[in-house]
Amino acid sequence: MTRPCSVATALLLATVAATGLLVPHGAPAADEPAGATRTYENRLTPIANPAPILGDHPEYVEPIRETARFEAPTLVDDPGADLSVRAWRFSYNARGIIEIPNRLRADRTAIVVVHPWGIDDGQGWVTPQPAGAAFQCTPAKNAIVLDHGKEVIDPLLRALRPRVKSIVYSLPGTEDPIRRKLYRSVRTRPTETDRQQGAVELAARLASFRYEGSPLPAALTVSTETPVRDYFKQFRGLDAGPKYDPEGFWKLPIPVMRTIAVAPEDVVVYDAEGYELLKTHLQEQGVRHVLLAGYNTDMCVCSTTAGYENLRKDFDVFLVGDATIATFPAHPTPRFATTAAVSFAALDLLITQGSWIRPDENRELSSAKD
């Protein structure tokens, strides 16, 4: 699904080291028998005078100041773990936030970035004028998200790329001929020559489109009995259809935003190709844990192909709460909408943040990567 979702950490230590005692990628650890279980002691210890959560990027997400906080025992505890991921969730029944330490193997971990759309970023795909809507739905809001990609998501990816098993981006549509040359997918791995040619073709294709739709209606016909009903039928809060976003706009090859540097080994998956393809790819890589980021927290990050409603059925999912932005209508800042969306997700999902993801500096960095 594309149109409904279109509305819409530098604090991580840069000098880190990771995987040392690795087994071949995709193989289970010798001391981790398949199907094994353990008893988890659900012990909640009150935390005295806790500092706010998600306080590293207050311009994008309002810090969470709930003071009813509890510490729980380690939940994920991989043998040979080399990545510390502290996380939290909220429980009404526990009457507060529960913070949980986790010890992950980086080579069992992927980062998935949902819908980092490259619009209004100089690549050529632009918001139609005078009233078109895409991504965060106005050029001004899109600019905020582009800054977020540069300041929060890109540093996170750069810091963890040498350590995690895979970095994946999800985009709308299917793997078209242009993006096949630009990005590695679950099927193809373009050469440097392919990528250069793909960039040329992308620029030409996006520049050839006329980004012009209809203006807002100058007059509406409403009944005398129910004018409000008729008003909203004719003048919706969001219309991303061909009236304002001209025919063909949504069929263009949408790139990854320019403020996020895509490495040659990073993978792009496409919404229309379905979740099973993504799941199979991750499982074949031996991935068990997913650090989830992207746009928009309340919609696409939740319910599209690479959203947590799918991923949490098969993987341990940690939503990186400051590496996401929610849709923010009627506000000049995403901070309040994002903290609300993240807090709601925390009812059934673990939330982390960039500064809580810490590789083990005592382990040797491995270059083993597919």
Q: What DSSP string runs through 314-338?
A: TSEEEEEEEEEE---TT-S-SHHHH
Q: What is the pLDDT of residue 121?
A: 97
Per the CB < 8 A criterion, the answer to whether 110 and 164 are in contact is yes
Half-sphere exposure of 288 (CA within 13 A, CB side): 17
DSSP 8-state assignment for residue 163: T
In this model, does residue 106 exceed pLDDT 70?
yes
Q: What is the pLDDT of residue 32?
A: 59
What is the dihedral sign for C-alpha 85, 108, 106, 340? negative
pLDDT in tens, 229-275: 999 999 999 999 999 999 999 999 999 999 999 999 999 999 999 99
In this model, does residue 370 exceed pLDDT 70?
no
Q: What is the pLDDT of residue 245?
A: 96
d(CA 242, CA 41): 55
Q: What is the pLDDT of residue 365?
A: 52
Average pLDDT, the chain: 90
In this model, does residue 73 exceed pLDDT 50?
yes
CATH match of 1-10+107-346 with 3.10.180.10 = no
In this model, does residue 93 exceed pLDDT 80?
yes
Q: Which residues contact 212 (CB under 8 A, 6 or more apart)?
A: 128, 129, 246
Instruction: From 198, 164, 168, select the one nearest 186 (Cα to Cα).
Output: 168
d(CA 210, CA 178): 19
Q: What is the pLDDT of residue 1?
A: 38
Q: What is the pLDDT of residue 36?
A: 85
Average pLDDT over residues 331-338: 97
Average pLDDT over residues 5-26: 35
In this model, does residue 21 exceed pLDDT 60?
no
Q: What is the pLDDT of residue 336?
A: 98
Q: Percent of the chain, pLDDT > 90?
A: 87
Instruction: From 350, 166, 171, select the one nearest 182 (Cα to Cα).
Output: 171
Q: What is the pLDDT of residue 360?
A: 86
Residue spans per domain, the chain = 1-10+107-346
In this model, does residue 131 exceed pLDDT 90?
yes
Confidence of residue 31 (pLDDT cuts 50, 70, 90): very low
Instruction: From 346, 353, 357, 370, select the one nearest 69 (Cα to Cα).
Output: 346
Q: What is the pTM of this model?
A: 0.88
259: tokens are: 């403020």
Q: What is the pLDDT of residue 208?
A: 97
Q: Percent of the chain, pLDDT > 70?
A: 88
pLDDT in tens, 278-293: 999 999 999 999 999 9
Q: What is the pLDDT of residue 5?
A: 54
d(CA 98, CA 92): 11
What is the dihedral sign for C-alpha 111, 115, 119, 124? positive
Q: Residue 136's Cα: distance from chain center in Å?
A: 14
pLDDT in tens, 166-220: 999 999 999 999 999 999 999 999 999 999 999 999 999 999 999 999 999 999 9
Average pLDDT over residues 73-81: 96
